[in-house]
Homo-oligomer: A and B are copies of this chain.
Amino acid sequence: MSQSFREQPRADDPRAVGELVAATGFFQDHEVAIAIELVEESLVRGLEAGYRYFFAEDDEGLLGYACYGEIPCTRGSWDLYWIAVHPRGQRRGLGRALLAATETAIAALAGRAIYIETSSQELYRPTQAFYLGAGYELAARFADFYALGDDKLVYRRALGTDQKAK
């Protein structure tokens, strides 16, 4: 049950991330393809690609990962692009641990706020509850954004001052 976190992407990660993201059942095929592409781009271009990671793994392989980056044209606003935990790694607080590691890393890089986007659909209720439970606030809702009846929700957490206030 020993698990460790790693930040550097490796050659096998695109395949492992694709498998992981697909296994969660939360993402459509074209979204899985994007998750894979980002890791591939990071393997080629390094930090220049704009993405940073935490990979959580045990002896059997990848259990979960987070992908984040500073939003282009901003100073201090970061986006959590991806966070996913494999079904076999769920219900052990791994998502929360990945999120906490990401927040700590962003704060250390002078990040002021973290943004996360998700869908309003029923399927994502646990995701929405996860962000709210982790101290994020709903900063915006764009009606019918993804499709009719499927809104975009934008969650936000300010780093620094907000944490002190808690």
Contact = CB atoms under 8 A, between A and B. Distances in A.
Interface of A: 30-31, 34, 71, 73-77, 112-113, 115, 139-140, 142, 144-148, 154, 156
A146 B73 contact: yes
A113 B144 contact: yes
A103 B18 CA distance: 37
A122 B73 CA distance: 18
A147 B74 contact: yes
A48 to B, nearest CB: 14
6 contacts: A34-B73, A74-B145, A74-B146, A74-B147, A76-B148, A140-B154
A76 B147 contact: yes
A31 B112 CA distance: 22
Contacts of A145: 71, 74, 77, 113
Nearest to A119: B73
Nearest to A117: B73
Nearest to A75: B147
Nearest to A74: B146
A73 B142 contact: no
Contact of A30 (B73, B77, B112, B139): B73
